[in-house]
A and B are shown apart, each in its own frame.
Chain A
Amino acid sequence: MTTSAPASAAPAPAAPRVRRREWLHTLTRAARTPRGMTGLGLALVVVLIAVIGPFVAPYPPDKFATVPGAPPSAKFPLGSDILGRDVLSRVLAGGWQLLIMAAAAMIIGVVLGTAAGIAAAQLRGWRDGLIMRTVDVILAFPQLVFALLLVSILGPARWLLVLAVGISHVPQVARVIRAAALDVSERDFVKAVEITGVRQSRVMSGEILPNLITPLMVEAGLRLTYSIVIITGLSFIGFGLQPPAPNWGYMINENRIILTSNPWAVVAPAILIAILTVGLNTFTDAIARVALGIERAEKVIAEAAGTGAVSEIPA
């Protein structure tokens, strides 16, 4: 284990072990910061509810239980929805499918978009032009319309829906990542590795990618929430998740009408989505700070604001 180094280093002044797999180290360190712990905790609470929920739901989520739009009572802690189904059961059962689909779509979008963005920035020339003009054309469509277009071409199967949403993320991600990668690819440390003759793919993955953690993490958090929005939006017009089965996004949509009689039918799923988003973004921020060395840098600046070490860096 790489993390046990301090313990093993104690007995003898042996040469230190060279640590590999720095990204893993970054993740674990981020999770140990207060910020990272809070974010990860919040996100995990929502994930746990989504995973365990279906097994502990008091009523079948798609069966009518009482009058529509009933306010919370002892029997139905969160009241009933527009059709008279138990809101608590639907909240508990309605998360996992949505989360899996949104996460998968996010991963597809971020991976493809990042690859396209870094390649465009590092390879330059006609390849940059080809990638970015394609992206521009796709960006001309609103994302929901583009996803809809893809779904109508690919078909309404659930995994195709995920693929369509993922692909619809690619242009935005590619834009952001290319802009950030352009800056990184001009730096001397990239030249210092290119000079050793390694393959372009290795330069991109080994040197440029790790320096894009901040925009990447922000994109990941953002795209996950967008995925939820788009998937629920598509469900609303009849693609993907079909109405009788519960899901948070669709619940918000269908219960808007009874917002006055039982607000919980809208608020409960909305809160869960919000907590998930805030938690993920907070954790993302913690990763970015650890990776960037911001906390280290902030400490150094606070401790030694007079050192001038930072200002010694020539432009």
Chain B
Amino acid sequence: MTGDMASPRLVVEGLTVATAGSGAAIIEDVSVQVAAGEVLGVVGESGSGKTTLGLAMVGHARRGLEIAAGSVRLDGTDLFSLPPDQLRRRRGAAMAYIPQDPSTALNPALRVGGMLKEVLTAHGRSGAEADARVQELLAEVGLGSQPEILSVYPHQLSGGQQQRITIAMAFACRPGLIVLDEPTTGLDVTTQRTVLETVARMCASYGVAAVYVSHDVVVVGELSNRVAVVYSGRVVETGATPDVFGTPAHPYTQGLLRAVPSPERSGRLVGMEGVPPRPGQRPAGCAFAPRCPLVIERCRAAMPELVPAGRAGQLARCVLVETGQARTEGPPAPAAEKDLAETVKPAATPVLQVTGLDASYGSNQVLFGIDLTVPPNTCVAIVGESGSGKTTLARCIAGLHTNWTGKVDYGGQPLPPGIRRRPKDVLRGIQYVFQNPYASLNPRRTVGGLVDQPIRTFAEGRRVRDDREILDALRAAALSVEVVNRYPDQLSGGERQRVAIARTLAVSPRLLICDEVTSALDVSVQAAVVELLRRLQRQHGLAMIFITHNIALIRSIAQQVVVMHRGRIAESGAVADVLDRPRAEYTRQLLDDVPKFSAAMTSSGDAQ
């Protein structure tokens, strides 16, 4: 590490990126610096402009966007003043970008080795040099023990392996700057752990200036030295990571931190309602004012400046900080609320009882002797990494997957495998919320039509349609009734998932199966959706199966937990027992893999 903090490698100054047509600013007046050997975390929700910022840092503006003001300088050279061919030569060599989804970032028609070599030869290495370097890289990203990986195609790799290959490609030419755009989104915690470790190790050993863009404050907290919190296109808070996350000054940062689930504490998650304002429709004053719990009159008058807050080098863009009224908050204290994992009377007949369930895809058995009991008025969490069979189990119960043997009793009656053989009241009683709200809502139906569909299906021969049922279901899912005539693509991810929940609630189910319902959502939205589900489960006395790969979420919603590993149950029991005193090695592993705020940060928070 050069430690040359005086001349940072990347300097972004007053950068404004706007749409070419209307001139609406996507990001506005952003100034950040990254030194060699330093990791800058850029945190924000979907729609905050963090990806635009990340791309601008490697000299790229997406189609339809232009640099309206400011500069991006890498080692003193203004990237946006470079002619295109010089800029292109620098990409890959002097700077690299790691995109979010490795499965689309790798060329499916090329072998992994060929792709890695191509990066090197394109930047002037000879064939032999490149081969040697490829071997070196493979070892560095922790795939050195599998040299055969070079001769396979990307689709033959797991998500974690793919992402490590993109990391190897990015580091191939020893660039001075690396921008990572949510490289672990979509990976389960265990894979995320290995990828994060790879990133941290590579950044340290190469001494690059690294920028890590993510919506996940915990991951950023773990990885970065300094952090910039971006909201609605502007930096609202920046400083050393332990300072910003230890003593957040801006209400938005505080909100993001409150939304983080933790495997150690139980209690409600506090989500942030609303979505960031769209570019071109931002309010005159502070852009966060419409969602801010601490908003005062002055907030709406003018955009506050970035002013020093709290600790040295910490800046925040908030009226309360300007006027010295800010109350800084440490990482959220354990909630005072009663533990969610309260006991349920065991005498009650279970809503669902699964005994000795085996399931296969073709000749490939994926579930082995699963036993599962869901008592009434109880949420059972099923947790495990991807490929552990949790979704298959849910699909067997829901009747979507039919190739299984064993016994599944619903309300004391055995369930036949397929949907077509199940009576209507069973279909009505078991409702399913899908993982991805971007795929589970018919894009051609309005919200009203979507919610109406199950109501109509289960309404026995009723001809008269009642708008009230639809609107009630929307209100129950904490949606504004105004969305009823909108189409799914006009809604945010969180709103879509609420529509999917409203649709299931409209027919008053007994058992609600939630399959990774928050994995496609931002952390702040995830918190709001989990809290909604928790409240609804209580209100309606639902039995619920909550499937997740994120063990940290479980305490916030479930009373019982089943840990699945490779198609078998590794451990099950009450949430408090399993998470506090894990018996299975695999459970301990899962708990260890959850990203946590580092000890340094927590102590910094306590020291105030």
Interface set of A (CB-CB < 8 Å, partner B): 5, 15-20, 22, 187-198, 206-207, 210-211, 213, 291, 293, 296-297, 301-309, 311-315
Contacts and interface: CB of A to CB of B under 8 A. Distances in A.
B467 A17 contact: yes
A303 B280 contact: yes
A291 B424 contact: no
Interface stretch (B194-202, B478-486, B526-534): B478-486
B365 interface: no
A293 B276 CA distance: 22
Contacts of A304: 26, 47, 278-279
Nearest to B424: A197
B444 A291 contact: yes
A15 B440 contact: no
A198 B64 contact: no
A189 B435 CA distance: 11
Which are the 3 A-B pairs with shortest beta-carbon distances? A306-B52, A306-B26, A210-B444
A307 B26 CA distance: 8
Given A19-B446, A19-B485, A197-B424, A308 B47 contact: yes
B493 interface: yes
Contacts of A5: 485
Given A17-B467, A192-B434, A211-B442, A312 B46 contact: yes
The bracket for how many chain B residues form the interface is 35 or more
A305 B26 contact: yes
Contact of B52 (A188, A190, A305): A305
8 contacts: A16-B485, A210-B442, A302-B19, A306-B49, A312-B185, A314-B186, A314-B436, A314-B520
Interface in B447-478: 448-449, 452-454, 457-458, 465, 467-468, 470-471
Interface string B100-111: 110110000000
Contacts of A293: 443, 487, 489-490
A192 B432 contact: yes
Contact of B427 (A15, A196, A314): A196
A188 B467 contact: no
B441 interface: yes
Contacts, number: 170
A90 to B, nearest CB: 44
Contacts of B64: 301-302, 305
Contacts of B482: 16
Q: Of B65, B398, B436, B444, which is in contact with the most chain A CB atoms at under 10 Å from its CB? A: B444
B440 A188 contact: yes
A158 B400 CA distance: 49
B399 interface: yes
Q: Of A17, A189, A191, A198, which is in contact with the most chain B CB atoms at under 10 Å from its CB? A: A189
Contacts of B436: 188, 313-314
Interface string B413-437: 0000001101010011000101110
A307 B49 CA distance: 5
Contacts of A306: 17, 26-27, 47, 49-53, 62, 65, 233, 279
B445 A210 contact: yes
A207 B439 CA distance: 13
B404 interface: no
A199 B59 CA distance: 53
Contacts of B83: none
B602 interface: no
Contacts of A311: 51, 100-101
A15 B467 contact: yes
A22 B453 contact: no
Contact of A195 (B48, B63, B419): B419
Contacts of A19: 446, 448-449, 484-485
Contacts of A191: 400, 434, 440
B80 interface: no
Contacts of B104: 315
B586 interface: no
B368 interface: no
B472 to A, nearest CB: 10
A309 B50 CA distance: 11
B24 A15 contact: no
B152 to A, nearest CB: 19
A275 B234 CA distance: 51
Contacts of A207: 442
Nearest to A200: B420
Contacts of A314: 101, 185-186, 436, 519-520
A188 B282 CA distance: 34
B448 A305 contact: no
B520 A313 contact: yes
B419 A303 contact: no
B135 interface: no
A64 B26 CA distance: 70
Q: Of A20, A197, A313, which is in contact with the most chain B CB atoms at under 10 Å from its CB? A: A197
Given A195-B427, A304-B278, A188 B444 contact: no
Given A17-B467, A304-B26, A306-B27, 12 more contacts: A18-B448, A18-B484, A189-B441, A192-B503, A195-B419, A213-B444, A291-B444, A303-B281, A306-B279, A307-B276, A307-B279, A308-B52
Contacts of B445: 22, 210
Interface string B7-35: 00000000001010110101100000000
B153 interface: no
Given A189-B439, A211-B443, A305-B52, A15 B481 contact: yes
A16 B481 contact: yes
B21 A302 contact: yes
B46 A197 contact: no
B492 interface: yes
A213 B443 CA distance: 12
Nearest to A191: B400
Contacts of B522: 312
Given A188-B439, A195-B427, A309 B46 contact: yes
B230 to A, nearest CB: 10
Given A293-B487, A296-B489, A305-B52, A192 B458 contact: no
Given A18-B484, A302-B22, A303-B24, A194 B419 contact: yes
B68 to A, nearest CB: 12
B47 A309 contact: yes
B154 to A, nearest CB: 12
Interface string B132-143: 000000000000
Contacts of B490: 293, 296
B484 A16 contact: yes
A282 to B, nearest CB: 22
Q: Of B281, B422, B445, which is in contact with the most chain A CB atoms at under 10 Å from its CB? A: B445
Interface string B75-104: 000000000000000000000000011011
A207 B442 CA distance: 7
A314 B521 CA distance: 10
B419 A189 contact: no
Contact of B279 (A189, A190, A303): A303
Contact of A315 (B103, B481, B500): B103
